[in-house]
Amino acid sequence: MDKLFSEVSTTDLVTQIARQITQAIVAGRLKPGERLTELQLSRDFGTSRAPVREAARLLESQGLVTFSPRRGFFVRTLTANDLREIYELRIGLELHAAALALDRIEARKVAALERQIEKLYRLADRGSIEEQIFEDFNFHRMLCAAAGNARLLRVYDELAVEMRVGITLIGKIYDDPHRLAQTHEPIVETLKNRDRDALLAALHYHIEAAQEAVVSLFEGIEAETASAP
Amino acid sequence: MDKLFSEVSTTDLVTQIARQITQAIVAGRLKPGERLTELQLSRDFGTSRAPVREAARLLESQGLVTFSPRRGFFVRTLTANDLREIYELRIGLELHAAALALDRIEARKVAALERQIEKLYRLADRGSIEEQIFEDFNFHRMLCAAAGNARLLRVYDELAVEMRVGITLIGKIYDDPHRLAQTHEPIVETLKNRDRDALLAALHYHIEAAQEAVVSLFEGIEAETASAP
DNA sequence: GAAGTGTCAATTGTCGACAATCGGCATTAT
DNA sequence: ATAATGCCGATTGTCGACAATTGACACTTC
């Protein structure tokens, strides 16, 4: 028998708070290095400090905030080297996921990937940069999900949060949004043809291009802030 | 000027508690599925419930325990499929790490890997199975560390905890401990020769062998427990 | 004036308490 | 006998409070 009702959301405070803080960081409303005081946060959320602490610890384990004993929580500051590491790890994860997906992916999911590319094209014409970034992430997440390994996907999701932080700080990566959509086509193409080597090569090229864009932009920012404090 | 004194350990309760619980799970003193009640734990540790809760949430983010709202924390129960996923992910991570290490590793660290193999040989003669497992892990961790990517290492460490849980539940994997040491030699050998393809092949074979051993043992256990009660 | 010391407000670490909720058991009705 | 209902102890979710610690600032000292 089908369920008559969907579950009522009993999301506890910790989850809600963690979600809100994550949003604020990813959206850039909380600046890197900024201090998060428990009292301030708990006042904002209208709760006591206990759930705030637990939420902050959760975010710490995800690398979104850092924690100094007796000092508190701070919004994580990403360096160019951090981003190099993040994308380097992403390459490893996503290529592995793609290789696994090659053997397992169903036709339905391949079609979904193709539709996702079309969505990227549509957003290139009339869509905000935020939407494009979001759907770009979605494409790659769908690919990783197709690997059929829940743990891999979890690690990828954590990494994606950090990537989003980095990208938000920049605000803009791609010059031509149509080109962004276009660069995804060879990935699905090679996946459909079960051409393993070509798939890995296409993905590797795709991610490395993003990496270089992001890292070089960050190095520029670091050079600025180092000379003009 | 050099520091005159090393820092005094001010490890907070949360860290200490998390460490102790992890120890208990990895050592098998806490059985899978077992319920962890906060009051009981806080009594054992001689603290209040707050630090216990935070520690438990930390372990949850590492996948060592699960958490049901309003029900509490339970020691994670690993299935054969979980272990398949874990090792599948490990293959991706460790091969990527090895490929990165190939370009970056220093001679000193290669030598350390060789010494580690010798240690495995020594332990094969006169050493407990626990020590062998521990040093086997150490070898692979050193390899991942040589990739020079802190994030990758962190993810690997989290995965290693889960692997240790799985292995502890079995208690025994390798028939011949000398053979365990031996199988590590081609890895270092190909690493020294900068033979990328051979290195990846050797590692892949090595890990997949472990995977098959562990997964098949778990499938056996699951078949038992399914028919027994 | 520079270096070091003492003081204080702000913040974290931890605690004990109370209300909300859950699972199980006895009870009742069919 | 079986299924649904109501109750109860046990446990979690959250809170406010207090002690411990920190960083900053004024103050002393040379």
What average pLDDT does this structure show over A165-192?
A: 84
Whole-number average pLDDT of chain B: 88
Q: How much is the pLDDT for A85?
A: 97
Q: How much is the pLDDT for A42?
A: 92
Output the CA angle B11-B15-B19, nearest 5 degrees: 120
With a cut of 80, say whether residue B168 has pLDDT above it: no
What average pLDDT does this structure show over A109-119?
A: 97
| Contact present, B59 and B160 (Cβ < 8 Å) | no
Rounded percentage of chain B residues whose pLDDT exceeds 70: 91
Confidence at A229, pLDDT banded by 50, 70, 90: very low
Q: How much is the pLDDT for A225?
A: 65
pLDDT for B61-120, tens place per residue? 888 999 988 889 999 988 999 999 999 999 999 999 999 999 999 999 999 999 999 999
How far, in Å, CA of A14 to CA of A12, rounded?
6
Q: Is the dihedral of CA B147, B16, B59, A8 positive or negative?
A: negative
How far, in Å, CA of B79 to CA of B124, rounded?
29
Does A85 contact B at CB distance below 8 Å? yes
Whole-number average pLDDT of chain A: 89
Helix axes A150-170, B80-104, angle to 10 degrees: 50
Strand C at less than 7 A from CB of A53: yes
Confidence at A70, pLDDT banded by 50, 70, 90: confident
Q: Which helix (H) or strand (E) holds A75?
A: strand A72-75
Closest CA to A199 of A160, A147, A156: A147
Beta bridge partners of A73: A36, A67
Other CB atoms within 10 Å distance of the CB of residue A219: 15
Confidence at B175, pLDDT banded by 50, 70, 90: confident
With a cut of 50, say whether residue A157 has pLDDT above it: yes
Instruction: Give A-chain residues touching B91 at CB under 8 angstroms.
Output: 96
Other CB atoms within 10 Å distance of the CB of residue B147: 26
Confidence at B177, pLDDT banded by 50, 70, 90: confident
CB-proximal positions of chain D, under 7 Å: 10-17, 21-23
Residue B196 CA: distances (Å) to CA of A194, B89, B96, B182, B189: 24, 20, 11, 20, 11
DSSP at A191:
H
Question: Per the CB < 8 Å rule, is B57 touching A57?
Answer: yes
Category of B68 on φ-ψ map: left (φ > 0), alpha (ψ -120 to 50) or beta: beta
Rounded percentage of chain A residues whose pLDDT exceeds 70: 91
Closest CA to B210 of B75, B92, B91: B91
What is residue A62's three-state secondary structure?
coil
Q: How much is the pLDDT for A7?
A: 57
What average pLDDT does this structure show over A25-46?
A: 90
A·B CB contacts under 8 A? 72
Please give the backbone phi and psi of residue B36, each rounded to the nearest 5 degrees, phi first. -110, 110
Other CB atoms within 10 Å distance of the CB of residue B128: 9
Q: Which amino acid is at B227?
A: S
Residue A223: both structure tokens together: 């050079």
With a cut of 80, say whether residue B224 has pLDDT above it: no
pTM over 0.85: yes
Confidence at A177, pLDDT banded by 50, 70, 90: confident
What average pLDDT does this structure show over B127-138?
A: 88
Distance CA B39 to C1' D12 in A: 10
Q: How much is the pLDDT for A1?
A: 45
pLDDT top residue among B63 and B12? B63
Strand D at less than 7 A from CB of B71: yes
pLDDT top residue among A151 and A229? A151
Q: Which helix (H) or strand (E) holds B113?
A: helix B107-125
Confidence at B217, pLDDT banded by 50, 70, 90: confident
> Which of A10, A91, A149 is closest, CB to CB, to B89?
A149
Does A112 contact B at CB distance below 8 Å? no
